[in-house]
């Protein structure tokens, strides 16, 4: 079946640094990918829609200059958390939809901890 991978699975960084998270669709092409954020004991909140070949679409309240999204190819989207702060610590999950069946495949998530 379809698989979506994320790298890294866990990252710890110092405040003020930037962190890049990769999301890859392994056996299908995804012109669209979604980035979600999940705080402890809470639900997934959609951050942005990553579009191959065009700018990402951000949800209200999400700073596009802080969370940079690049959809470099039909199988890769990256999320860069710039100038990270402790409040950015969260679980970041990407997903990629397969057009048939309207099913989305989720990556395993990336745990970001900002010290």
Partner 1 sequence: AQSVTQLGSHVSVSEGALVLLRCNYSSSVPPYLFWYVQYPNQGLQLLLKYTSAATLVKGINGFEAEFKKSETSFHLTKPSAHMSDAAEYFCAVSEGQAGTALIFGKGTTLSVSS
- The residues that touch partner 1, with contacts defined as CB under 8 A, are 6, 31-32, 34, 42-46, 49, 91, 93, 95, 97, 99-104, 106-109, 111
Q: Is 15 helix (H, G, I), strand (E, B) or coil?
A: coil
Cβ proximity to partner 1: between 78 and 95 the closer is: 95
Closest approach of partner 1 to the CB of residue 108, in Å: 4
Cβ proximity to partner 1: between 75 and 97 the closer is: 97
Cβ proximity to partner 1: between 39 and 115 the closer is: 39
Q: Which two tokens stand for residue 35?
A: 């980035």
Closest approach of partner 1 to the CB of residue 16, in Å: 26
**Does residue 53 have a cis bond before it (omega within 30 degrees)?**
no
Closest approach of partner 1 to the CB of residue 67, in Å: 15
CA distance 73 to 31: 8
CA distance 90 to 104: 21
Closest approach of partner 1 to the CB of residue 32, in Å: 5
**Does residue 8 have a cis bond before it (omega within 30 degrees)?**
yes
Q: Is 106 helix (H, G, I), strand (E, B) or coil?
A: strand
């Amino acid at each position: 079946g379809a698989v979506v991978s994320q790298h890294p699975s866990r990252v710890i960084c110092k405040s003020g640094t930037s962190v890049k998270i990769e999301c890859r669709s392994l056996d299908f092409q995804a012109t669209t990918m979604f980035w979600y954020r999940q705080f402890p004991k809470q639900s997934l909140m959609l951050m942005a829609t990553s579009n191959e070949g065009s700018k990402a679409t951000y949800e209200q309240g999400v700073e596009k200059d802080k969370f940079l999204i690049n959809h470099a190819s039909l199988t890769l989207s990256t999320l860069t958390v710039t100038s990270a702060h402790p409040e950015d610590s969260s679980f970041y999950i990407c997903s990629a939809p397969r057009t048939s069946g309207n099913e989305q495949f989720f990556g395993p998530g990336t745990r970001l901890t900002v010290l």
